[in-house]
Amino acid sequence: MAPWALLSPGVLVRTGHTVLTWGITLVLFLHDTGEPDPARPQTHPIPPLRQWEEQGELLPPLTFLLLVLGSLLLYLAVSLMDPGYVNVQPQPQEEAKEEQTAMVPQAIPLRRCRYCLVLQPLRARHCRECRRCVRRYDHHCPWMENCVGERNHPLFVAYLALQLVVLLWGLYLAWSGLHFFQPWGLWLRSSGLLFATFLLLSFFSLGASLLLASHLYLVASNTTTWEFISSHRIAYLRQRTSNPFDRGLTRNLAHFFCGWPSGSWETLWAEGEDEEEEGRSQAV
């Protein structure tokens, strides 16, 4: 491996995430607020994790550690795995036409990517950061330094859910170790690091909550971030009055997380088109 490869954006982002995760965890475990003052017992409280350790209750801190490790492993899995790249081998013009005719109705001709020179399947999009076309493209996540697409989107949602649990638990642990007292200079020296950790966890918790809520909404309606934001620019959605891929909450969730019922997006789009035409004819 070339030395400059170690300084690539992906390596730097993932290393930063790993260091930040374990750094915050160490602060929550090891932060020492000093010996309690008998005259002011709340001046130097012992953080809950330390209390559990001293009382011999190892299950809560062990569970917290396992959740942190699980969230980190999920993060690495989502950031390193193939999000659903379209085969980069360009197809001969004749084969491409045959595939297009077999896969989709002529009403939605597929586009050939001007960067990859491949025939893009329905719901695919070219990512300029990854320099590849991604199936069921959702977005490019700079915190992952990877695209979120057809293959890793379910794991991305699972990561957000687990990460939010860890963040909220960490937020509770940090707040439980904070007790404000005067003089403020003494408090800042004893609890300044824990207070900074609390603020950082608050910011991350808010971001993770908003992300998880938005993605659960999108999954429930079987749409993607790109389609939700840019539906007016997408050829297969521009003329539609409703989402052609929405098959109801239960089937959307089953297909997203379990791959059932299986079927191509082209088939779902064609079925939706037929339903819309039937609805228009009945209205007339």
Catalytic residues: 141
Torsion angle of C-alpha atoms 34, 38, 43, 45, degrees rounded to 10: 60
Beta carbons of 52 and 208 less than 8 angstroms apart:
no
DSSP codes of every residue in 33-95: --SPBTTBTTSSPPPHHHHHHHTT--HHHHHHHHHHHHHHHHHHHHHHS---BPP-SPPPHHH
Find tokens 């085969």 and name the residue: 87
165 C-beta neighbours (distance < 10 Å), count: 15
The continuous run of DSSP H or E covering 127 comes out as: strand 125-127
245 C-beta neighbours (distance < 10 Å), count: 22
Give the separation between CA 87 and CA 85, rounded to whole angstroms: 6
Q: At what angle do helices 59-80 and 9-30 cross, to 10 degrees?
A: 170
Give the separation between CA 244 and CA 252, rounded to whole angstroms: 12
Q: How far is CA 159 from CA 7, 63, 104, 222, in A?
A: 25, 17, 34, 19
Beta carbons of 163 and 20 less than 8 angstroms apart:
no
Phi/psi for 36 (5° steps) reads -65, 140
For residue 223, the number of C-alpha atoms closer than 13 Å in the C-beta half-sphere is: 18
